[in-house]
Amino acid sequence: MSMREMKLPAGHVPVKTGKIGVLIMNLGTPDATDYWSMRRYLKEFLSDRRVIETSRAIWWPILNLIILQTRPQKKGKDYETIWNKELNESFLKTITRNQATKLAERLGALSSDIVVDWAMRYGNPAIKPAVERLMAQGCDRILAFSLYPQYAAATTATANDHLFRALMTMRWQPTIRVAPSYHDEPAYIQALAQSVRDHLSKLDFEPEVILASFHGMPKSYLMAGDPYHCQCAKTARLLREELGLAPDRLMMTFQSRFGPDEWLKPYTDETVEALAKRGVKRMAILAPAFSADCLETLEELDGENRHIFEGNGGEKFTYIPCLNDSELGMNVIQTVVERELQGWI
């Protein structure tokens, strides 16, 4: 029964129900690039036990006495290079908002009872207020969709943790569905492949090598049972097959490591340097683990790794953007959401 049809006893508190919420979630972003904004963001992010599994007795002094004293300034400068000056926010926030707006338009044709909202695991807009906004509009069922194609405890699981913490404070909880990873979803693989074809068709050169660079994680997380590495490998294999490329033409690497521990290999920066020194003159990089361009793609891949390649003899370098809120990207999001809403609409 929709909320327009619900009949309540006299004097009953107002009740809104009958709507279906879709909450899309991404990793997060600082509110600004100044020291204190960056510090707040990094403290929340690096205090998460899902992200840093090191013993608190060891990690807390390192985080508070070393990292948070120096890293906010450095990362703030990095963010400045890719900041959306027009809206005074990161492009990750801009793109995620656009994804939510476009998804709402697409799902509106499916049912007028669907409400779409968006949130970040770290920073703003936060998850709990987003859930409260959906419930205030009558959403008694909510699909939570983390925009990470490959599952990892440090991404998907921590977003879900935060969602569940919000539910723990609510007397009347909505019914929740959690969308699974979509690392091998045909619509996702086909969209990635088409984005590669479209981008390369506009170039005046053909890359000798294409790197599929995924965000890294400590190797110990893999050994503890995290499925992330395996899902990345499957995505890379399916993409390679879809494009009809040999393993030495489309390679899988991992980026964004920090600290002394061994991370998933091969490392992106070391691979880029080795390829250039080996004589590769033309290369392309894409980032299949990211649904939206952000610091790790715009500054690290298109900036830092471009400099590594060109500084070691490479001549032609191109970065293939994420799917973002493009038609291809929105087709993927809509495909997953509509599948996971079956039985509710």
Please indicate if the annotation marks 273 as binding a ligand: no
Residue 30's pLDDT band (cuts 50, 70, 90):
very high
Check pLDDT > 70 for residue 2.
no
pTM listed for this prediction: 0.92
In sequence order, the 6+-apart residues with CB closer than 8 A to the CB of 313 are 276, 277, 279, 281
Domain boundaries, the chain: 19-182+328-340, 186-320
Check pLDDT > 80 for residue 71.
yes
C-alpha to C-alpha distance for 319 and 317, rounded to whole angstroms:
7
Q: Which of 61-65, 133-137, 258-262 has the lowest mean pLDDT?
A: 258-262
Please indicate if the annotation marks 183 as binding a ligand: no
In sequence order, the 6+-apart residues with CB closer than 8 A to the CB of 58 are none
Check pLDDT > 70 for residue 214.
yes
Q: What is the mean pLDDT of residues 55-62?
A: 94
- What is the topology classification, in CATH, of domain 19-182+328-340? Rossmann fold (3.40.50)
- The C-alpha angle with vertex 211 and arms to 254 and 289, in degrees rounded to 5, equals 50
Q: What is the mean pLDDT of residues 142-161?
A: 97
Check pLDDT > 90 for residue 3.
no
Number of neighbours of residue 220 by Cβ within 10 angstroms: 13
- Residues 287-312 have pLDDT tens digits of 999 999 999 999 999 999 999 999 99
Tell me the percentage of the chain whose pLDDT exceeds 70.
96
Q: What is the mean pLDDT of residues 141-169?
A: 97
Check pLDDT > 50 for residue 4.
no
Check pLDDT > 80 for residue 12.
no
- The structure tokens listed for 269 are 């920066």
Residue 260's pLDDT band (cuts 50, 70, 90):
confident
- Is domain 186-320 classified as CATH 3.40.50.1400? yes
3-state secondary structure of 214: strand
Check pLDDT > 60 for residue 25.
yes
- Residues 96-125 have pLDDT tens digits of 999 999 999 999 999 999 999 999 999 999
3-state secondary structure of 60: helix
The reply to whether 186-320 shares the fold of 19-182+328-340 is yes
Contact 334, 107 (CB under 8 A): yes
C-alpha to C-alpha distance for 332 and 66, rounded to whole angstroms:
41
Tell me the percentage of the chain whose pLDDT exceeds 90.
93
